[in-house]
Amino acid sequence: MSDCKTPSMSCPSCSSSMIVSHLLGKHQYVDKFEYSYLECLKCDLVFVFPIPSSEILVEIYTPSNYANTYVYNRNESKDCDPLDLDSSVDNRVDNSNESFQTKKDKQALFKLLFKYKRENNYQNLLDFGCGNGNFSIFARKCGYQVTAYEPLPQDVNLLSKKTLSGSDNIEILTGEIGVLLESGRKFDIIFLADVLEHLPYPIETLCKLRHLLSSKGVFMILSPLESSTNIGTIFLKLYKNIKKISKASTIANNPPYHLFLFNKRSLIRLINNASLQMINYTPYSIDWPFTVRQNDGSIKALAMKIIGKTNIVIGESILGRLLNLQNRAIVIAKWIKE
Ligand SMILES: [Zn+2]
Protein backbone atom coordinates (compact mmCIF):
# COMPACT_ATOMS: atom_id res chain seq x y z
CA MET A 1 0.00 0.00 0.00
CA SER A 2 1.16 3.54 -0.65
CA ASP A 3 2.09 5.87 2.14
CA CYS A 4 -0.31 8.59 3.16
CA LYS A 5 -0.27 11.44 0.66
CA THR A 6 -0.20 15.08 1.62
CA PRO A 7 -3.77 15.95 2.57
CA SER A 8 -5.53 17.88 -0.13
CA MET A 9 -9.07 19.12 -0.32
CA SER A 10 -9.46 18.30 -3.97
CA CYS A 11 -11.47 15.36 -5.25
CA PRO A 12 -9.28 12.24 -5.57
CA SER A 13 -11.11 11.32 -8.77
CA CYS A 14 -11.73 14.50 -10.78
CA SER A 15 -9.46 16.95 -8.86
CA SER A 16 -12.30 19.44 -8.44
CA SER A 17 -12.08 21.70 -5.40
CA MET A 18 -15.88 21.93 -5.10
CA ILE A 19 -15.95 19.79 -1.97
CA VAL A 20 -18.57 19.82 0.77
CA SER A 21 -19.11 17.83 3.96
CA HIS A 22 -21.16 14.71 3.46
CA LEU A 23 -24.06 13.81 5.71
CA LEU A 24 -22.09 10.91 7.21
CA GLY A 25 -19.84 13.57 8.73
CA LYS A 26 -17.04 12.90 11.19
CA HIS A 27 -15.89 9.50 12.37
CA GLN A 28 -13.05 8.14 14.39
CA TYR A 29 -11.23 4.83 14.60
CA VAL A 30 -10.70 4.32 18.33
CA ASP A 31 -8.32 7.10 19.39
CA LYS A 32 -5.97 6.61 16.45
CA PHE A 33 -7.53 8.25 13.45
CA GLU A 34 -10.17 10.91 12.92
CA TYR A 35 -11.71 11.27 9.50
CA SER A 36 -14.63 12.84 7.67
CA TYR A 37 -16.74 11.89 4.69
CA LEU A 38 -16.58 14.59 2.01
CA GLU A 39 -18.51 14.90 -1.22
CA CYS A 40 -17.40 16.24 -4.60
CA LEU A 41 -20.10 18.41 -6.17
CA LYS A 42 -18.68 17.89 -9.65
CA CYS A 43 -18.56 14.08 -9.89
CA ASP A 44 -20.67 13.02 -6.82
CA LEU A 45 -17.82 11.02 -5.28
CA VAL A 46 -18.04 10.61 -1.50
CA PHE A 47 -14.64 9.96 0.05
CA VAL A 48 -12.85 9.60 3.35
CA PHE A 49 -10.58 12.50 4.26
CA PRO A 50 -7.76 12.23 4.98
CA ILE A 51 -6.81 8.87 3.45
CA PRO A 52 -5.58 6.65 6.31
CA SER A 53 -1.90 5.78 6.53
CA SER A 54 -0.73 2.35 5.38
CA GLU A 55 -0.18 1.43 9.07
CA ILE A 56 -3.83 2.13 9.91
CA LEU A 57 -5.02 0.21 6.85
CA VAL A 58 -2.88 -2.82 7.70
CA GLU A 59 -4.23 -2.74 11.24
CA ILE A 60 -7.91 -2.55 10.35
CA TYR A 61 -7.55 -5.41 7.85
CA THR A 62 -5.91 -7.86 10.24
CA PRO A 63 -8.05 -11.02 10.44
CA SER A 64 -9.22 -10.27 13.97
CA ASN A 65 -10.47 -6.85 12.92
CA TYR A 66 -11.89 -7.47 9.48
CA ALA A 67 -11.52 -10.80 7.75
CA ASN A 68 -13.01 -12.90 10.57
CA THR A 69 -16.12 -10.75 10.43
CA TYR A 70 -16.54 -9.98 6.76
CA VAL A 71 -14.51 -12.47 4.73
CA TYR A 72 -13.92 -15.83 6.45
CA ASN A 73 -17.30 -15.43 7.98
CA ARG A 74 -19.81 -17.95 9.08
CA ASN A 75 -20.05 -21.62 8.66
CA GLU A 76 -17.53 -23.25 6.33
CA SER A 77 -19.22 -26.60 6.65
CA LYS A 78 -22.35 -25.20 4.99
CA ASP A 79 -20.58 -24.71 1.66
CA CYS A 80 -22.89 -24.92 -1.32
CA ASP A 81 -22.41 -25.24 -5.03
CA PRO A 82 -21.59 -21.75 -6.35
CA LEU A 83 -23.34 -22.54 -9.61
CA ASP A 84 -26.52 -23.56 -7.87
CA LEU A 85 -28.38 -20.34 -8.56
CA ASP A 86 -31.59 -21.62 -7.08
CA SER A 87 -30.38 -22.79 -3.70
CA SER A 88 -31.67 -20.72 -0.81
CA VAL A 89 -30.14 -17.31 -0.34
CA ASP A 90 -29.83 -17.94 3.40
CA ASN A 91 -27.47 -20.87 2.88
CA ARG A 92 -25.37 -18.91 0.45
CA VAL A 93 -25.19 -15.81 2.62
CA ASP A 94 -24.11 -17.92 5.58
CA ASN A 95 -21.04 -18.93 3.68
CA SER A 96 -20.34 -16.00 1.45
CA ASN A 97 -17.79 -13.26 1.15
CA GLU A 98 -18.92 -9.71 0.41
CA SER A 99 -19.00 -10.37 -3.31
CA PHE A 100 -21.57 -13.13 -2.92
CA GLN A 101 -24.14 -11.46 -0.77
CA THR A 102 -27.08 -12.62 -2.75
CA LYS A 103 -28.50 -14.67 -5.55
CA LYS A 104 -28.56 -11.43 -7.59
CA ASP A 105 -24.76 -11.18 -7.49
CA LYS A 106 -24.41 -14.72 -8.73
CA GLN A 107 -26.98 -14.40 -11.48
CA ALA A 108 -25.45 -11.18 -12.84
CA LEU A 109 -21.89 -12.54 -12.74
CA PHE A 110 -22.90 -15.88 -14.19
CA LYS A 111 -24.48 -14.20 -17.24
CA LEU A 112 -21.51 -11.89 -17.83
CA LEU A 113 -18.84 -14.56 -17.41
CA PHE A 114 -20.58 -16.80 -19.93
CA LYS A 115 -21.33 -13.96 -22.36
CA TYR A 116 -17.69 -12.86 -22.51
CA LYS A 117 -16.35 -16.40 -22.69
CA ARG A 118 -18.70 -17.27 -25.54
CA GLU A 119 -18.36 -14.03 -27.53
CA ASN A 120 -14.64 -13.32 -27.05
CA ASN A 121 -13.27 -16.75 -26.21
CA TYR A 122 -11.90 -15.48 -22.91
CA GLN A 123 -9.72 -18.00 -21.10
CA ASN A 124 -8.14 -16.60 -17.97
CA LEU A 125 -9.19 -14.37 -15.12
CA LEU A 126 -7.44 -12.57 -12.27
CA ASP A 127 -9.51 -12.32 -9.08
CA PHE A 128 -7.83 -9.25 -7.58
CA GLY A 129 -8.54 -9.07 -3.85
CA CYS A 130 -9.98 -12.58 -3.81
CA GLY A 131 -10.82 -12.68 -0.06
CA ASN A 132 -11.91 -16.18 0.84
CA GLY A 133 -11.93 -17.15 -2.83
CA ASN A 134 -15.61 -17.89 -3.36
CA PHE A 135 -15.61 -15.98 -6.62
CA SER A 136 -12.39 -17.67 -7.77
CA ILE A 137 -14.07 -21.04 -7.34
CA PHE A 138 -17.18 -19.74 -9.09
CA ALA A 139 -15.17 -18.47 -12.10
CA ARG A 140 -13.25 -21.77 -12.25
CA LYS A 141 -16.52 -23.65 -12.46
CA CYS A 142 -17.56 -21.30 -15.28
CA GLY A 143 -14.56 -22.59 -17.26
CA TYR A 144 -11.92 -19.91 -16.61
CA GLN A 145 -8.29 -20.47 -15.70
CA VAL A 146 -8.19 -18.50 -12.46
CA THR A 147 -5.42 -16.65 -10.65
CA ALA A 148 -6.51 -15.53 -7.17
CA TYR A 149 -4.58 -12.64 -5.67
CA GLU A 150 -4.79 -11.30 -2.16
CA PRO A 151 -2.10 -9.15 -0.53
CA LEU A 152 -2.58 -10.69 2.92
CA PRO A 153 -1.14 -14.21 3.25
CA GLN A 154 -3.55 -15.16 6.04
CA ASP A 155 -6.50 -14.72 3.66
CA VAL A 156 -4.79 -16.79 1.01
CA ASN A 157 -4.16 -19.59 3.51
CA LEU A 158 -7.88 -20.11 3.78
CA LEU A 159 -8.29 -20.20 0.01
CA SER A 160 -5.43 -22.70 -0.29
CA LYS A 161 -7.11 -24.98 2.21
CA LYS A 162 -10.37 -24.74 0.32
CA THR A 163 -9.03 -25.26 -3.18
CA LEU A 164 -6.46 -27.89 -2.31
CA SER A 165 -9.12 -29.96 -0.63
CA GLY A 166 -11.30 -29.81 -3.71
CA SER A 167 -10.73 -30.35 -7.39
CA ASP A 168 -10.37 -26.67 -8.28
CA ASN A 169 -7.18 -25.86 -10.09
CA ILE A 170 -6.62 -22.24 -9.02
CA GLU A 171 -3.31 -20.42 -8.96
CA ILE A 172 -2.89 -18.45 -5.75
CA LEU A 173 -0.66 -15.39 -5.40
CA THR A 174 0.04 -13.21 -2.37
CA GLY A 175 2.32 -10.35 -1.38
CA GLU A 176 2.78 -6.79 -2.57
CA ILE A 177 1.06 -5.81 -5.84
CA GLY A 178 4.53 -5.57 -7.44
CA VAL A 179 4.74 -9.38 -7.39
CA LEU A 180 1.78 -9.48 -9.71
CA LEU A 181 2.92 -6.63 -11.94
CA GLU A 182 6.41 -8.08 -12.40
CA SER A 183 5.06 -11.51 -13.29
CA GLY A 184 4.46 -10.36 -16.89
CA ARG A 185 1.12 -12.15 -16.86
CA LYS A 186 -1.83 -11.14 -19.07
CA PHE A 187 -5.48 -11.71 -18.23
CA ASP A 188 -8.69 -11.60 -20.28
CA ILE A 189 -10.67 -10.48 -17.22
CA ILE A 190 -9.40 -8.65 -14.16
CA PHE A 191 -12.15 -8.95 -11.58
CA LEU A 192 -12.52 -6.64 -8.58
CA ALA A 193 -15.43 -7.54 -6.34
CA ASP A 194 -16.11 -5.16 -3.47
CA VAL A 195 -12.49 -4.06 -3.76
CA LEU A 196 -12.44 -0.57 -5.31
CA GLU A 197 -14.03 1.14 -2.31
CA HIS A 198 -11.32 -0.30 -0.02
CA LEU A 199 -8.33 0.91 -2.06
CA PRO A 200 -6.62 4.10 -0.81
CA TYR A 201 -5.67 5.10 -4.36
CA PRO A 202 -8.11 3.31 -6.69
CA ILE A 203 -7.22 5.21 -9.87
CA GLU A 204 -3.52 4.53 -9.38
CA THR A 205 -4.22 0.84 -8.74
CA LEU A 206 -6.40 0.54 -11.86
CA CYS A 207 -3.67 2.28 -13.89
CA LYS A 208 -1.15 -0.30 -12.69
CA LEU A 209 -3.45 -3.26 -13.22
CA ARG A 210 -4.45 -2.26 -16.76
CA HIS A 211 -0.95 -3.35 -17.90
CA LEU A 212 -1.98 -6.89 -16.96
CA LEU A 213 -4.88 -6.92 -19.43
CA SER A 214 -4.55 -9.06 -22.56
CA SER A 215 -5.07 -7.25 -25.90
CA LYS A 216 -8.81 -8.01 -25.73
CA GLY A 217 -8.97 -7.94 -21.92
CA VAL A 218 -11.45 -6.09 -19.69
CA PHE A 219 -11.97 -5.10 -16.08
CA MET A 220 -15.06 -6.49 -14.38
CA ILE A 221 -15.77 -4.30 -11.37
CA LEU A 222 -18.49 -5.15 -8.88
CA SER A 223 -19.22 -2.34 -6.47
CA PRO A 224 -21.79 -1.22 -3.94
CA LEU A 225 -23.53 2.06 -4.86
CA GLU A 226 -23.75 3.40 -1.35
CA SER A 227 -24.31 7.04 -2.18
CA SER A 228 -27.08 6.46 -4.70
CA THR A 229 -30.55 7.47 -3.56
CA ASN A 230 -32.54 4.51 -2.33
CA ILE A 231 -34.68 3.51 0.63
CA GLY A 232 -31.55 2.58 2.55
CA THR A 233 -29.87 5.96 2.12
CA ILE A 234 -33.11 7.86 2.77
CA PHE A 235 -33.49 5.89 6.00
CA LEU A 236 -29.87 6.64 6.91
CA LYS A 237 -30.39 10.36 6.25
CA LEU A 238 -33.48 10.42 8.49
CA TYR A 239 -31.58 8.58 11.23
CA LYS A 240 -28.61 10.96 11.04
CA ASN A 241 -30.87 14.02 11.14
CA ILE A 242 -32.77 12.69 14.15
CA LYS A 243 -29.42 12.12 15.85
CA LYS A 244 -28.38 15.67 15.04
CA ILE A 245 -31.61 17.14 16.38
CA SER A 246 -31.36 15.06 19.54
CA LYS A 247 -27.79 16.29 19.91
CA ALA A 248 -26.47 12.77 20.37
CA SER A 249 -22.74 12.23 19.84
CA THR A 250 -21.91 13.27 16.27
CA ILE A 251 -18.61 11.38 16.08
CA ALA A 252 -19.24 7.78 15.15
CA ASN A 253 -16.56 5.30 16.16
CA ASN A 254 -15.74 2.83 13.41
CA PRO A 255 -12.86 1.91 11.12
CA PRO A 256 -12.72 3.54 7.67
CA TYR A 257 -13.34 0.32 5.73
CA HIS A 258 -15.04 1.95 2.78
CA LEU A 259 -12.84 4.85 1.70
CA PHE A 260 -15.14 5.70 -1.22
CA LEU A 261 -18.91 5.62 -1.52
CA PHE A 262 -20.08 5.52 -5.11
CA ASN A 263 -23.19 6.17 -7.09
CA LYS A 264 -23.53 5.38 -10.81
CA ARG A 265 -22.06 8.72 -11.88
CA SER A 266 -19.06 8.82 -9.55
CA LEU A 267 -18.20 5.17 -10.22
CA ILE A 268 -18.16 5.65 -13.99
CA ARG A 269 -16.25 8.93 -13.69
CA LEU A 270 -13.57 7.30 -11.56
CA ILE A 271 -13.23 4.43 -14.01
CA ASN A 272 -12.94 6.92 -16.90
CA ASN A 273 -10.29 8.83 -14.97
CA ALA A 274 -8.14 5.69 -15.04
CA SER A 275 -8.33 5.89 -18.89
CA LEU A 276 -10.88 3.08 -18.94
CA GLN A 277 -14.04 3.09 -21.02
CA MET A 278 -17.20 1.46 -19.77
CA ILE A 279 -18.65 -1.06 -22.20
CA ASN A 280 -21.31 -2.63 -19.99
CA TYR A 281 -23.21 -1.47 -16.90
CA THR A 282 -25.35 -3.97 -15.00
CA PRO A 283 -27.11 -2.45 -11.97
CA TYR A 284 -29.28 -4.33 -9.50
CA SER A 285 -30.59 -4.10 -5.94
CA ILE A 286 -29.89 -6.18 -2.87
CA ASP A 287 -31.00 -5.77 0.73
CA TRP A 288 -27.50 -4.86 2.03
CA PRO A 289 -26.78 -3.17 4.44
CA PHE A 290 -30.10 -4.27 5.89
CA THR A 291 -29.40 -7.97 5.46
CA VAL A 292 -30.76 -9.92 8.40
CA ARG A 293 -28.24 -12.65 9.19
CA GLN A 294 -29.83 -13.88 12.38
CA ASN A 295 -33.56 -13.38 12.56
CA ASP A 296 -34.13 -13.28 16.30
CA GLY A 297 -37.72 -12.08 15.90
CA SER A 298 -36.86 -8.63 17.27
CA ILE A 299 -38.44 -5.40 16.02
CA LYS A 300 -35.00 -4.35 14.73
CA ALA A 301 -34.68 -7.52 12.64
CA LEU A 302 -38.21 -7.03 11.28
CA ALA A 303 -37.55 -3.36 10.45
CA MET A 304 -34.29 -4.25 8.69
CA LYS A 305 -36.02 -6.96 6.70
CA ILE A 306 -38.77 -4.57 5.59
CA ILE A 307 -36.30 -1.82 4.59
CA GLY A 308 -34.06 -4.31 2.78
CA LYS A 309 -36.91 -5.90 0.81
CA THR A 310 -38.49 -2.51 -0.01
CA ASN A 311 -35.11 -1.38 -1.29
CA ILE A 312 -35.03 -4.33 -3.69
CA VAL A 313 -38.64 -3.88 -4.91
CA ILE A 314 -38.21 -0.15 -5.56
CA GLY A 315 -34.72 -0.49 -7.04
CA GLU A 316 -35.84 -3.21 -9.46
CA SER A 317 -39.03 -1.40 -10.54
CA ILE A 318 -39.21 0.42 -13.88
CA LEU A 319 -39.08 3.77 -12.07
CA GLY A 320 -36.19 2.59 -9.92
CA ARG A 321 -34.24 1.61 -13.00
CA LEU A 322 -35.03 4.91 -14.73
CA LEU A 323 -33.89 6.91 -11.70
CA ASN A 324 -30.80 4.75 -10.98
CA LEU A 325 -32.00 3.74 -7.54
CA GLN A 326 -30.15 0.42 -7.49
CA ASN A 327 -27.51 -0.10 -4.81
CA ARG A 328 -25.07 -2.38 -6.60
CA ALA A 329 -23.55 -2.61 -10.08
CA ILE A 330 -21.12 -4.54 -12.24
CA VAL A 331 -19.13 -2.42 -14.68
CA ILE A 332 -17.16 -3.89 -17.57
CA ALA A 333 -14.48 -1.52 -18.86
CA LYS A 334 -11.61 -1.64 -21.29
CA TRP A 335 -8.39 0.36 -21.47
CA ILE A 336 -8.36 3.22 -23.96
CA LYS A 337 -4.69 3.66 -24.85
CA GLU A 338 -3.69 7.14 -25.95
ZN1 LIG B 1 -14.90 14.76 -8.19
pLDDT for 82 equals 42
pLDDT for 23 equals 77
pLDDT for 176 equals 85
Residue 269 CA to ligand 1 center (angstroms) comes to: 8
Residue 279 CA to ligand 1 center (angstroms) comes to: 21
pLDDT for 81 equals 43
pLDDT for 12 equals 95
What tens-digit pLDDT sequence spans the chain (338 residues)? Answer: 333 344 458 999 999 999 998 877 788 887 778 888 999 999 999 999 999 988 888 888 776 666 555 554 443 433 434 444 433 333 333 333 344 556 778 888 889 999 999 999 999 999 999 887 888 888 998 899 999 998 877 667 667 777 766 667 888 888 888 888 888 899 999 999 999 999 999 999 999 999 999 999 999 999 999 887 766 666 666 776 666 666 555 566 778 888 999 999 999 999 999 999 999 999 988 877 666 666 777 887 787 778 778 878 887 888 888 888 888 999 999 998 87
Residue 174 CA to ligand 1 center (angstroms) comes to: 32
Class of domain 19-335: alpha beta
- pTM of the complete model: 0.81
Residue 268 CA to ligand 1 center (angstroms) comes to: 11
pLDDT for 255 equals 83
pLDDT for 42 equals 95
Give yes or no for a contact between 187 and 126, defined as CB atoms under 8 angstroms apart: yes
Taken as a whole, the chain contains a residue count of 338
> Number of C-alpha atoms within 13 angstroms, CB side, residue 183?
21
Residue 9 CA to ligand 1 center (angstroms) comes to: 11
Bridge partners, 34 (sequence order) = 28
Residue 233 CA to ligand 1 center (angstroms) comes to: 20
Residue 186 CA to ligand 1 center (angstroms) comes to: 31
pLDDT for 293 equals 66
Residue 20 CA to ligand 1 center (angstroms) comes to: 11
pLDDT for 5 equals 43
Residue 208 CA to ligand 1 center (angstroms) comes to: 21
Residue 14 CA to ligand 1 center (angstroms) comes to: 4
Bridge partners, 125 (sequence order) = 146, 189
